[in-house]
Chains A and B, each alone.
Chain A
């Protein structure tokens, strides 16, 4: 306590000496003429908890299946620890997968399900029970070892599937929507449990999800995918704060997108003309954007202040009318209608009781934000 060890930030992707565990080099996967994965490049590092995030059908499962060995790339190559895994069959890869459907063997007990992979490995027979017990303890399933999969709950099945895929201590664990079948509360608990297990075992995890909150919670880095392409790979906070494209901004959390024309300010940053008769939005963005380029200005609702009067010295301020209020318990989102017809969302914490809130429908309000609150996006 007296002398806490200095915490080193886990960021192998920023370290040029670090070699990635997995690389995708120009990988394309076609089903017939349909392109499921389109010229994809990606690096995943040892001990990472890497999330693939994207809408249904964007190719997440296909990407996982290529890592596990059930699909071969049409073009490009995938390496694991520097070795091209193209010709290696699934049963010879140091990779295990937890299937979306769990795929537990219904005719085997929980114990035998977990031991299944160990019995196919070169682990000496007498060491298998100890390893199975260890996995049962890790997933807190000791009491259910002799049950069959249909005799346990959905959440317990999920843990058995996890235990089974971790038992062989793979270099890489693939989890395809592992929490998809669980209810919200259990999902939250299990997310933290997964992170805990990942840390304890030191395994590299690649998790697929279409739930952005889940990706943000568990992952060290998130890859946002769209139609077979990776749009952005970054840490959760970077993805949230500095999305690369309007698609990413819109996909992750709530966002206000205002389209306009950028022109550089002499003092740095840009002024974005977005509507006739409205002051341009000032943004201290350091990207280089051509004069007159069409851009989207993206700002998160919680970064927009809502006040009854024009705030003093605000860098950006606009007037509007409260059009709608979404009350979410801890926070409220105000949908403010601007004279231009656009709706801007502003979020505030509900520190007062609902009956005493400051604004109500049809009130005139001011929205304001600083020049660093939003980002300028060219795509």
Chain B
């Protein structure tokens, strides 16, 4: 019995160790190394055959110089700030779009719900990359949006949407909408209709009852949805590189360029470590929210 429980707890921890902590320490180590024209393209590499001396030499060569470098070039901190801005605005738009959809789903007749749920999840069945590519076709100068607007006579010159921050927002909202809808739907679905009815019975209009009862009681779902969108959006690479323009500065893109174009693995790793540190704050807040919600349900 005791053994089984230990085993059950051990499995997720081993998983964490293997697929999160080990890779993290590898990246951490690279971020403390120096660029080198070699394979792999950095030094030092640990050579255990040299024993204790090798270990001492190895650690003496590690330094925080890459992190210092990040502070000297303002490209990096501007990219972090810009990523935070884009992720925040995109999360807000996703919430504004997602809440009404979740609300509509939760108030739909029971027999419709599986279908609506299906429609929300359906995009996951095709590759994220392909779906973002499709948006290039939709938003381009000769794309679907421009040709429709021109045909309707609303515009005469094609609008430049692709390769701007607007396209990035559209991409993030589109790509992460299900992560916003599902937790909000789950929270709204649990609400008893008699709660808003009794608010009306006590003198609220429908709108007031929505503000005073539905909104506060769906807050855990809203918070969960916002984190689920904000956290991946902050490090997003595919969307800004496919839909964004030269002016779109996001840390995921910077990281990729350091890594592939500049072949500077150590600086790229330092960028990644700082990104992770920035994300630790919202991740901890998210965990708190989940925990508090579970406690409230007990």
Contact = CB atoms under 8 A, between A and B. Distances in A.
Task: Name the interface size band of chain A.
Answer: 20 to 34
A103 interface: yes
Contact of A99 (B198, B205, B296): B198
Interface string B76-93: 000000000000000000
Interface string A84-121: 00000111000111011101011100000000110011
Contacts of A192: none
A99 to B, nearest CB: 5
A90 B217 contact: no
A51 to B, nearest CB: 21
Contacts of B194: 99-101, 103
A121 B201 CA distance: 12
Contacts of B216: 107
B110 interface: no
Interface residues of B, number: 17
Nearest to B216: A107
Contact of A68 (B192, B195, B201, B296): B201
Main secondary structure of the interface of B (DSSP, over half): helix
Residue of B197, B202, B216 most packed against chain A (CB within 10 A) = B202
Interface in B187-219: 192, 194-195, 197-205, 208, 213, 216-217
Interface in A163-184: 164-165, 168
Contacts, number: 53
Contacts of B296: 150
A120 B198 contact: no
Q: What DSSP secondary structure best describes chain A's contact surface?
A: loop
B197 A117 contact: no
Contacts of A101: 192, 194
A268 B126 CA distance: 88
Interface of B: 192, 194-195, 197-205, 208, 213, 216-217, 296
25 contacts: A68-B201, A69-B201, A70-B197, A70-B200, A90-B200, A90-B201, A91-B200, A91-B201, A91-B205, A95-B201, A99-B194, A99-B198, A100-B194, A101-B192, A101-B194, A103-B192, A105-B195, A106-B217, A117-B203, A120-B202, A120-B204, A120-B208, A164-B202, A165-B202, A168-B202
